[in-house]
């Protein structure tokens, strides 16, 4: 971090110097040799720098734990998740590049848009909050916070934060888990959770999650109490 | 026919005789030239060298592209190959005795590659490209067999093909084979160099390039007389351009370095491998050694090139052109340059020029539309491990806008290809 701060002015000078001959020759500036430039295609759906847009369906990827992002890229490549554009983008990519992509989006610490869900019914929000914080012991449903962190901002290295996601995206993921459209490495803990929740529960959780404002710098937690309530193949035990 | 009365019994008998004779002929054609099945599964001895050679050849033949399902065990089959006649499912090539080829002999494996017949005698569907693989030598077939037998056995039953009537009948397949298939190992062409012959063998036999790059007739057979002259890949909406035309994907005027770059890295300043070709580079050609790449290059550069057609003078609607120009400035110019000159990074071209780009100018706009709609990345390879990519514009642009944009890039900066309509876009999406 300190090194990058120190190097930044140097890099700026280097960029300016590099641009001078090009400008003299009247040709456009060189394409930046950066991950930001390489990942431009992702912005078409995931928003600028992967920060999503409140009105859209597509999830925010900026700042998600790198392990989670890599798992998802690999899930698309391996057919455990199905979305044609994602599959098409990653199916001819090496593990090394998928890791670099995951690391880069994970490193972005960007502000969140205001919450998408406003004015949901109070009883729905209350039910959602109860499920997130306490779960539903009578039905064997663990609390979301037991895996996703007390602040619901995820846990390193591979549990995603769930705040700042579009409500429609959240609902669809539960649906996809229930129908087998979305899978994770076995044992697939979220597939089990999804089958425990009623449609009303899913709506409530999605409404609560998408109604929470997110402060700047919602870093994922470093660790969480073990064992997790369910075994998850994509999270190291 | 005087003196012979055509009575119903006679007609029936005559027809029956004719049908039987035709069936016998078809049956004979289907098994002609087959070698005797000698040896058993246990009598085959694989040396480590043979296994290593087979591993290399399996990449050259891109066996895994079909025989390894997405996320599935290597070579365990199960992947569906969509054809105009239905879906054919690739078979399990692991050495599992029950569901794979563990009980096969080398001679049976050879018969499958060379004659298109399975160990149990069934005729194989040509989605398995044995019309190309028949040219593979016995020695290479044995190496492939040795490699496959070295894999981890996976018990996974083959899926039943989902073909429509009458394509699901072995009898139909027998007639198809009688008409369109004849077995034969690649014969080196006298007067050509060993390198050229090696290249021809790799392109025609193992590489089965013609499976995509040749046109197919109504029965799905590739047409030998038009070899490598380009074909629309069934059901994928990608056109595999002609390797025998300088206006399409012919490389007669390319340097050896450029051809090698495309096959090894998937990217050249003249164009990137996208779509089905990205897969070919990713799984197959990037692993070929320099001698084999040079051999393929020598063969491909020698293909007779079709004379350039007189360019059609496109009548471009001024409104569409202006609309496309505005869209280009807003969406494309940052990377591809204000005048379609492409984008250069410190190491050279990273976004291909569109001015004079053959992919843009192909008579069929299918690939251009595909790329604008879906975007994509060239494959990651040792030579291009961190590719730049193209965003998908399908979600944000309407058919009419994509048509205007495509029309513009096909007509601007000296490009001269026919305009693209919204209907073309709808067709190709």
Residue pair B135/B185 in contact by the 8 Å Cβ criterion: yes
- Of residues A30, A79, A88, nearest to B344 (C-beta): A30
pLDDT digits (tens, 9 = 90+) for B201-259: 999 999 999 999 999 998 999 877 668 999 999 888 899 999 999 999 999 999 999 99
Establish whether this prediction's ipTM goes over 0.90.
Answer: yes
Q: What is the pLDDT of residue B84?
A: 94
A169 touches chain B (CB under 8 A): no
- Of residues A30, A41, A94, nearest to B385 (C-beta): A94
- As given in the structure block, the two tokens for residue B5 are 């009365």
With 90 as the cut, is the pLDDT of residue B108 above it? yes
pLDDT digits (tens, 9 = 90+) for B55-95: 999 999 999 999 999 999 999 999 999 999 999 999 999 99
CA B276 to the chain's CA centroid: 8
pLDDT: is B148 or A237 the higher one? B148
Point out which residues pair with B381 in neighbouring strands.
B384
Q: At what angle do helices B138-149 and B48-60 cross, to 10 degrees?
A: 100
Mean pLDDT within A161-181: 94
Mean pLDDT within B415-422: 94
CA-based nearest residue in chain A for residue B376: A89
Tokens 């629309």 appear where?
A: B232
SS3 call for B247: coil
Whole-angstrom Cα Rg for chain B: 25
pLDDT digits (tens, 9 = 90+) for A176-230: 999 999 999 999 999 999 999 999 999 999 999 999 998 876 679 999 999 999 9
Decide which of 1.10.760.10, 1.50.10.10, 1.10.1740.10, 3.30.470.20 is the CATH code for B318-428. Answer: 1.10.760.10
- Give the predicted TM-score (pTM) of the model: 0.91
Classified by CATH at the fold level, domain B194-302 comes out as Cytochrome Bc1 Complex; Chain D, domain 2 (1.10.760)
Q: What is the pLDDT of residue A11?
A: 46
pLDDT digits (tens, 9 = 90+) for B173-199: 999 999 999 999 999 999 999 999 999
Q: How many whole angstroms separate alpha carbon B332 and alpha carbon B339?
A: 10
Mean pLDDT within B331-353: 95
Q: What is the pLDDT of residue B261?
A: 97
B-chain residues near A92 (CB < 8 A): 278-279, 281-282, 377-380
Mean pLDDT within A96-109: 96
Q: Do B392 and A41 touch (CB under 8 A)?
A: yes
Q: Do B346 and A33 touch (CB under 8 A)?
A: yes
Q: What is the pLDDT of residue A24?
A: 42
Mean pLDDT within B270-298: 97
Report the CATH number of the A46-211 domain. 1.10.760.10
pLDDT: is A219 or B423 the higher one? B423
With 60 as the cut, is the pLDDT of residue B410 above it? yes
A30 touches chain B (CB under 8 A): yes
Residue pair B197/B188 in contact by the 8 Å Cβ criterion: yes
pLDDT digits (tens, 9 = 90+) for A59-101: 999 999 999 999 999 999 999 999 999 999 999 999 999 999 9
Q: What is the pLDDT of residue B332?
A: 97
Enclosing H/E stretch for B279: helix B276-283
With 90 as the cut, is the pLDDT of residue A54 above it? no
Q: What is the pLDDT of residue B253?
A: 94
Mean pLDDT within A168-183: 95
A179 touches chain B (CB under 8 A): no
Average pLDDT, chain B: 94
Residue pair B235/B127 in contact by the 8 Å Cβ criterion: no
DSSP-based helix, strand, coil % in chain A, nearest 5: 50, 5, 45
Q: What is the pLDDT of residue A116?
A: 85
A18 touches chain B (CB under 8 A): yes
Torsion on CA atoms A36, A42, A48, A52, rounded to nearest 10 = -140
A-chain residues near B333 (CB < 8 A): none
Q: What is the pLDDT of residue A14?
A: 45
CA-based nearest residue in chain B for residue A90: B377
Confidence of residue B5 (pLDDT cuts 50, 70, 90): confident
Q: What is the pLDDT of residue A13?
A: 43
Residue pair A206/A152 in contact by the 8 Å Cβ criterion: no
- Of chain B, the end-to-end C-alpha distance in Å amounts to 59
Q: What is the pLDDT of residue B225?
A: 64
Q: How many whole angstroms separate alpha carbon B366 and alpha carbon B256?
A: 28
Q: How many whole angstroms separate alpha carbon B115 and alpha carbon B183?
A: 6
Q: How many whole angstroms separate alpha carbon A27 and alpha carbon B185?
A: 54
With 80 as the cut, is the pLDDT of residue B1 above it? no
> How far is CA B239 from each of CA A211, B354, B356, B366, B424, rounded to the nearest angstrom?
47, 18, 18, 7, 14
- As given in the structure block, the two tokens for residue B425 are 């876009």
Q: CB atoms < 10 A from the CB of B398, how many?
A: 11
With 80 as the cut, is the pLDDT of residue A19 above it? no
Mean pLDDT within B32-49: 89
Interface test with B, best of A21, A27, A31 (most B CBs within 10 A): A31
Q: What is the pLDDT of residue A42?
A: 95
B399 touches chain A (CB under 8 A): no
Q: What is the pLDDT of residue A15?
A: 44
Mean pLDDT within B273-289: 97
Q: Where are the domains of chain A?
A: 46-211
Residue pair B171/B27 in contact by the 8 Å Cβ criterion: no
Residue pair A80/A185 in contact by the 8 Å Cβ criterion: yes
Mean pLDDT within B253-271: 96
> How far is CA B252 from each of CA A139, B242, B249, B280, B311, rounded to the nearest angstrom?
70, 12, 9, 21, 20
How far does the CA of residue A100 sit from the closest CA of chain B (Å)?
9
With 70 as the cut, is the pLDDT of residue A161 above it? yes
Average pLDDT, chain A: 88
- Of chain A, the end-to-end C-alpha distance in Å amounts to 30
With 50 as the cut, is the pLDDT of residue A18 above it? no
∠ CA B392-B398-B399, nearest 5°, is 95
């Amino acid at each position: 971090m300190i090194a990058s701060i120190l190097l930044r002015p140097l890099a700026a000078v280097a960029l300016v110097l590099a641009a001078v001959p090009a400008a003299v020759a009247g040709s456009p500036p060189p394409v930046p040799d950066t991950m930001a430039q390489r990942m431009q295609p992702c912005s078409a759906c995931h928003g600028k720098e992967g920060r999503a847009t409140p009105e859209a369906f597509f999830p925010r990827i900026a700042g998600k734990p790198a392990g989670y992002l890599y798992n998802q890229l690999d899930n698309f490549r391996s057919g455990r998740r199905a979305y044609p554009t994602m599959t098409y983008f990653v199916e001819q990519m090496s593990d090394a590049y998928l890791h670099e992509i995951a690391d880069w989006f994970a490193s972005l610490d960007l502000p969140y848009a205001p919450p998408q869900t406003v004015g949901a019914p109070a009883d729905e929000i209350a039910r959602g909050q109860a499920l997130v914080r306490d779960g539903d012991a009578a039905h064997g449903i663990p609390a979301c916070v037991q895996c996703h962190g007390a602040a619901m901002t995820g846990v390193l290295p591979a549990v995603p934060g769930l705040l700042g996601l579009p409500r429609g995206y959240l609902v669809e993921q539960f649906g996809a888990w229930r129908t087998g459209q979305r899978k994770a490495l076995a044992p697939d803990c979220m597939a089990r959770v999804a089958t425990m929740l009623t449609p009303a529960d899913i709506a409530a959780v999605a409404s609560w999650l998408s109604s929470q404002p997110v402060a700047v710098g919602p870093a994922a937690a470093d660790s969480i109490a073990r064992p997790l309530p369910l075994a998850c193949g994509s999270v190291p035990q | 026919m005087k003196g012979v009365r055509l009575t119903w019994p006679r007609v029936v008998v005559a027809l029956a005789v004719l049908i039987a004779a035709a069936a016998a002929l078809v049956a004979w054609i289907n098994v002609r030239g087959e070698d005797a099945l000698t040896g058993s599964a246990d009598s085959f001895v694989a040396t480590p060298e043979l296994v290593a050679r087979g591993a290399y050849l399996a990449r050259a033949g891109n066996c895994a592209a079909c025989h390894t399902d997405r996320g599935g065990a290597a070579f365990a089959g199960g992947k569906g190959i969509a054809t105009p006649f239905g879906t054919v499912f690739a078979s399990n090539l692991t050495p599992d005795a029950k569901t794979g080829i563990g009980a096969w002999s080398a001679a049976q494996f050879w018969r499958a590659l060379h004659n298109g017949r399975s160990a149990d005698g069934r005729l194989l569907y040509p989605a398995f490209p044995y019309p190309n693989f028949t040219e593979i030598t016995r020695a290479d077939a044995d190496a492939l067999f040795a490699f496959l037998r070295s894999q981890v056995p996976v018990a996974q039953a083959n899926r039943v093909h989902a073909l429509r009537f009458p394509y699901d009948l072995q009898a139909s397949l027998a007639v198809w084979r009688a008409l369109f298939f004849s077995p034969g190992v690649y014969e080196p062409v006298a007067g050509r160099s060993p390198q050229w012959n090696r290249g021809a063998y790799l392109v025609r036999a193992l590489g089965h390039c013609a499976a995509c790059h040749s046109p197919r007739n109504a029965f799905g057979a590739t047409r030998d007389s038009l070899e490598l002259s380009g074909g629309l890949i069934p059901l994928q909406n990608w056109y595999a351009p002609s390797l025998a035309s300088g206006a399409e994907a012919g490389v007669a005027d390319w340097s050896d370095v450029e051809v090698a770059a495309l096959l090894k890295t998937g990217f050249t300043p003249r164009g990137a491998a996208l779509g089905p070709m990205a897969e070919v580079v990713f799984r197959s050609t990037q692993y070929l050694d320099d001698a084999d790449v040079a051999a393929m290059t020598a063969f491909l550069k020698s293909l007779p090139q079709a004379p350039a057609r007189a360019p059609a003078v496109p009548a471009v609607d001024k409104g569409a052109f202006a609309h496309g120009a505005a869209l280009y400035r807003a969406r494309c110019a940052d990377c591809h340059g204000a005048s379609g000159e492409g984008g250069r990074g410190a190491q050279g071209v990273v976004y291909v020029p569109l001015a004079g780009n053959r992919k843009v100018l192909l008579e069929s706009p299918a690939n251009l539309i595909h790329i604008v709609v879906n975007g994509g990345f060239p494959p990651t390879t040792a030579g291009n491990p961190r590719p730049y990519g193209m965003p998908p514009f399908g979600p944000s642009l309407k058919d009419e806008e994509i048509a205007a944009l495509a029309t513009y890039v096909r007509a601007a900066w000296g490009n001269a290809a026919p305009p693209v309509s919204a209907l073309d876009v709808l067709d190709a999406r």
